[in-house]
Amino acid sequence: MYKRIFLLLALLSLTSGLAFAEEPQLSFTEATDLTLFGKVFPDTPNPYERMDFERFGGWEEKDISLLEMSSGVVVSFRTNSPSIWVMPYFKKLSGDLNSGRSVRGFDLYIKKDGQWLWAGIATYKTDKGKEDGKCRNLVKNMDDSMKECLLYLPNESKMISVQIGVESGSELEKGEIPFRHRICLHGSSFMHGVCTGRAALTVPGFLSRMTGLQFCSLGVSGDCRMQPQFANALAQADVDAFVFDAFSNGNAETVRRNLFPFIERIQQDKPGVPLIFMHTIWRERRNFDREHDKAEATKIAMADSLMNIAVKKYKDVYYIPSNATSAMHETTLDGVHPGEWGYYLWAESVRQPILDILKQYGID
């Protein structure tokens, strides 16, 4: 008897809870009708991709696949809705072993008292057929004041559509680009954001929020070796400065072969624009793997040697140190990539040197 009464009460409680948790009526707006930023090349046929493959050629299949990913693309909007939702359609969902919150997740920040604060996240699984068009909540139970919002798109997935949902009757409008100037940050998986816990926890993301300057991400995981096709495209980029993580991929030979032609090709069309190269970070895999340590040491020695020549040979070329390692050497996730704490340390290590150089060019 008591068991039946308990079961009945449990069912009534569950039914009441479901009714109370009923989702509000929502209205949706495509992100392209709001404000998109964070791209080195703003105008691309697919607005959620990072390269115009029709305008620039010479791409390898791997280049195209990586540049189709939405890493670094941000949606800026304002709303007074008590809750914010996202409804995406994917060209491809990443099945990467890294955090799904980063490679397949949407990361929301809202400004509060002049500071960008994390507000919410919506993560998707790997089955495109089941996940396309799924509406998921980013944040709820807010007041109805007007808020400035930034939504970071997934680092390693490919988007066809991103729709922002707000409660019916609420306002949703274009936001401003809250960061000044346009600085290209081109690099490896380190700049792409591999092994971050959330999409906003990348070096470009950290630097933008730290400095108020817009660091546009062109990270290409495993594929940044200063190849001619990238130099040709970057030479046409409408940016105020370049920052390069150019020595993390490849080997000593690719550094030797590509560095000077890469600099010269960009400077051919971008005279007087600063080119800031970052020293690559210590990879913790080197601690005990002697073969890996030797290869890294050889590559870095080549980069150091050539950059010592480059900063004297070419005007407007700089070489700065970087660090993504804590005093305890506990920031790596897989021996190659840092986790988000390591990426924060990296951004902080280069923040002031980059600002000091940019200030010489009136970029502040």
* pLDDT given at position 23: 76
Q: What mean pLDDT do residues 214-232 have?
A: 98
- Nearest CA among 329, 332, 308 for reference residue 319: 308
> Which residues does 175 contact at the CB level (< 8 Å), separation at least 6?
34, 35, 76, 77, 78, 148, 149, 150
Give strand pairing partners of 77: 149, 174
Q: How far apart are CA 84 and CA 299, in angstroms?
A: 47
Q: What mean pLDDT do residues 166-171 have?
A: 98
> Pick from 124, 150, 174: which residue ends a domain?
174
**pLDDT exceeds cutoff 70 at 236:** yes
**330-354 pLDDT, tens per residue?**
999 999 999 999 999 999 999 999 9
Q: Which domain holds residue 97?
A: 26-38+73-174
> Pick from 151, 174, 197: which residue ends a domain?
174
What is the three-class DSSP state of 244?
strand
Q: Is residue 49 part of a domain?
A: no
**296-335 pLDDT, tens per residue?**
999 999 999 999 999 999 999 999 999 999 999 999 999 9
* pLDDT given at position 301: 98
Q: Is residue 19 part of a domain?
A: no
**How confident is residue 98, by pLDDT bands cut at 50, 70 and 90?**
confident
Q: Is residue 3 part of a domain?
A: no
Report the CATH number that the domain containing residue 292 is assigned in CATH.
3.40.50.1110
**How confident is residue 18, by pLDDT bands cut at 50, 70 and 90?**
very low
Residues 254 and 349 in one domain: yes
Residues 200 and 157 in one domain: no
Residues 136 and 220 in one domain: no
Residue 253 near residue 225, CB atoms below 8 Å: no
User: How many independent structural domains does the chain possess?
Assistant: 2
Q: Is residue 4 part of a domain?
A: no
* pLDDT given at position 302: 98
Residues 155 and 220 in one domain: no
**How confident is residue 99, by pLDDT bands cut at 50, 70 and 90?**
confident
**32-84 pLDDT, tens per residue?**
999 999 999 999 999 999 999 999 999 999 999 999 999 999 999 999 999 99
* pLDDT given at position 75: 98
**106-158 pLDDT, tens per residue?**
999 999 999 999 999 999 999 999 999 999 999 999 999 999 999 999 999 99
**196-210 pLDDT, tens per residue?**
999 999 999 999 999
Q: What mean pLDDT do residues 170-175 have?
A: 98
> Pick from 148, 174, 200: which residue ends a domain?
174
* pLDDT given at position 7: 36
Q: How many percent of the chain have pLDDT more than 90?
A: 92
Arithmetic mean of pLDDT over the chain: 93
**pLDDT exceeds cutoff 80 at 16:** no
DSSP string, 246-297: -SSSS-HHHHHHHHHHHHHHHHHH-TT--EEEEPPPPPGGGGT-HHHHHHHH
Residues 197 and 155 in one domain: no
Q: Is residue 334 part of a domain?
A: yes
- Nearest CA among 249, 272, 237, 100 for reference residue 189: 249
**How confident is residue 14, by pLDDT bands cut at 50, 70 and 90?**
very low
Q: Is residue 223 part of a domain?
A: yes
Residues 186 and 307 in one domain: yes
* pLDDT given at position 100: 86
Residue 167 near residue 81, CB atoms below 8 Å: yes
**How confident is residue 12, by pLDDT bands cut at 50, 70 and 90?**
very low
Q: Is residue 13 part of a domain?
A: no
**258-272 pLDDT, tens per residue?**
999 999 999 999 999
